Amino acid sequence: MAVLYFTGFETGDASELSSLGAGFSIDSAVKQSGSYALKGEGDYAELLAVVGLSLASVWARMYIRPSGVPASPAGAPGGIVLRHATDAEVYTSIATASGTGARTIQLVHRTGGGDVNLGSAWPIALNEWTRLEVKCVISTTVGIAEMALNGVVVETHTGLNTGSAPIVSLSCAMGNDVVGVANIVHHFDDIQVNDAAYPGSGRIIGRQVKAGTPTYNAWTKTGGATIDGVWSETPYSAALNAVSAGASQAQTGLVVDVAAGLNPIDVNDTINACRVMCVANRESAGSAYSAYSLRRRVSAADTDEAMSFASLDADLFHQGSIFTATRTALQSAEMGAVVGTGGGGREDLTIHDIWLMVDYTPAPKPKAIIVPQAAHRASYF
């Protein structure tokens, strides 16, 4: 299994998205796991959550929670939208069943010839989280479209013409509302894109920096005496940060324990993917000053990944590559950054906040075994 992308919106804002767009916001009141989820409210809208893909086969997961506000009986994309480079797509559609008011979800294939409903419309719970997963294989003759609800594959369609262009993006979509009725509300959480298999059940958590002396501690802290005082704001704070002041300077922080706090990872849980993210600012001019490296320190070994700035004097979101690690290794992990040598390395690099994001699958809970009590025998004297 190869995890290509995941998000639980745990930066608490739009930092890791290109933009939120009309009708969408980050919500801390309703979430599947972690501290935040994406909220969509209003008439039909899409949020481009994942871009830069180029896949002939994709398995995507999101948790979706439709509200009780009626959706249009006609249906519209709701949930996952997998868009091809040619603007064709495989998507799920949410509608209100005629006569019952129940909400349904259906798999749809859109091509140049229009939308084709695939299979049946399946009931989806209101005001509850449903794990929605979609598989799409690109081929002009043996294409595949598939949908699973809460781990059960309910629709499989083979021999399709899904085109020849790769899948390039994933969007979160909310269906049409009904004229004259309150806005429809959908929540989305814990998205994963995979190129080998269904992601399955999952939670996505974010951890920042805790108190303690890190291995690297050379930067100047603004707004706090220690690194945990400035790298622990979600959403990020521009007023609290750490700033480099010399060539080759490094700064890390101890990662908050993944086995404690909100949604702790248990010893029997499976860690699927990890990623370090930050909001950074380079206060200089010229391309010579635009590079630095994100650093993660796992199992006492440093991994540096080069980052660059598309623009300077602006707060930009950067993320490292996806990696895996054990629960034990993450419990002693550090994360931070290092500036380079030469002219660029001597200029100020500011990191406002930093996160370790983890996608993991909770272990199945053991079933309780009920042992019947022995029957009581009556005694007669």
- Residue 48: which pLDDT band, with cuts at 50, 70 and 90? confident
End-to-end CA distance of the chain: 70
Planar angle of CA 253, 258, 260, nearest 5 degrees:
115
**Most confident stretch, 19-28, 150-159, 170-179, 307-316:** 150-159
Planar angle of CA 270, 274, 278, nearest 5 degrees:
155
> How much is the pLDDT for 308?
80
pLDDT tens, position by position, 230-249: 999 999 999 999 998 777 88
> How much is the pLDDT for 43?
72
- What mean pLDDT is predicted for residues 66-83? 74
* Residue 77: burial class (beta carbons within 10 Å; 0-12, 13-18, 19+): buried
Residue 228, helix vs strand vs coil:
helix
Between 324 and 163, residue with greater pLDDT = 324
At residue 358, does pLDDT exceed 80?
Answer: yes
- What mean pLDDT is predicted for residues 198-227? 97
- What mean pLDDT is predicted for residues 330-343? 84
Concatenated DSSP letters of 103-143: EEEEEEEEETTEEEEEEEEEE--SSS-EEEEEEEE--SSSE
- Calpha distance 106→95 (Å, rounded): 8
At residue 341, does pLDDT exceed 60?
Answer: no
AA letter at 340:
G
> How much is the pLDDT for 356?
98
Percent of the chain residues topping a pLDDT of 90: 61
The DSSP 8-state label assigned to residue 247 in this structure reads T
- Of all residues in the chain, what percent are helix, strand and coil, respectively (each to 5)? 5, 50, 45
Please answer whether residues 38 and 171 qualify as being in contact, where contact means their C-beta atoms are separated by less than 8 angstroms: no
Superfamily of domain 206-361: Galactose-binding domain-like (2.60.120.260)
Between 33 and 114, residue with greater pLDDT = 33
3-200 sits in which CATH class?
mainly beta
- Calpha distance 186→173 (Å, rounded): 9
- Calpha distance 173→325 (Å, rounded): 33
Planar angle of CA 272, 359, 51, nearest 5 degrees:
100
φ, ψ (nearest 5 deg) of residue 227: -65, -30
- Residue 374: which pLDDT band, with cuts at 50, 70 and 90? low
pLDDT, averaged across the chain: 87
At residue 267, does pLDDT exceed 90?
Answer: yes
Q: What does the block give as tokens for 221?
A: 């802290």
Between 21 and 76, residue with greater pLDDT = 21
Compute the CA torsion angle 142, 143, 148, 151 (nearest 10 deg): 60
> How much is the pLDDT for 353?
97
pLDDT tens, position by position, 125-180: 989 999 999 999 999 999 999 999 999 999 999 999 998 999 999 999 887 665 55
At residue 289, does pLDDT exceed 70?
Answer: no
> How much is the pLDDT for 159?
96
Whose CA is closest to 147, among 92, 99, 84? 92
- What mean pLDDT is predicted for residues 99-121? 82
Side-chain half-sphere CA neighbours of 235 within 13 A: 14
Q: Where in the chain is the domain with CATH 2.60.120.200?
A: 3-200
> How much is the pLDDT for 380?
43
AA letter at 343:
G
AA letter at 202:
G
Look up the pTM and report it: 0.91
Distances in whole angstroms, Cα of residue 310 to Cα of each of 110, 282, 286, 290, 337? 35, 10, 11, 8, 18
Helix ranges, the chain (H): 327-331, 342-345
- What mean pLDDT is predicted for residues 185-194? 95
- Calpha distance 282→348 (Å, rounded): 6
Q: Where in the chain is the domain with CATH 2.60.120.260?
A: 206-361
* Residue 279 burial (CB count, 10 A): 24
> How much is the pLDDT for 182?
62
- What mean pLDDT is predicted for residues 342-370? 80
> How much is the pLDDT for 370?
67
> How much is the pLDDT for 318?
93
Between 284 and 10, residue with greater pLDDT = 10
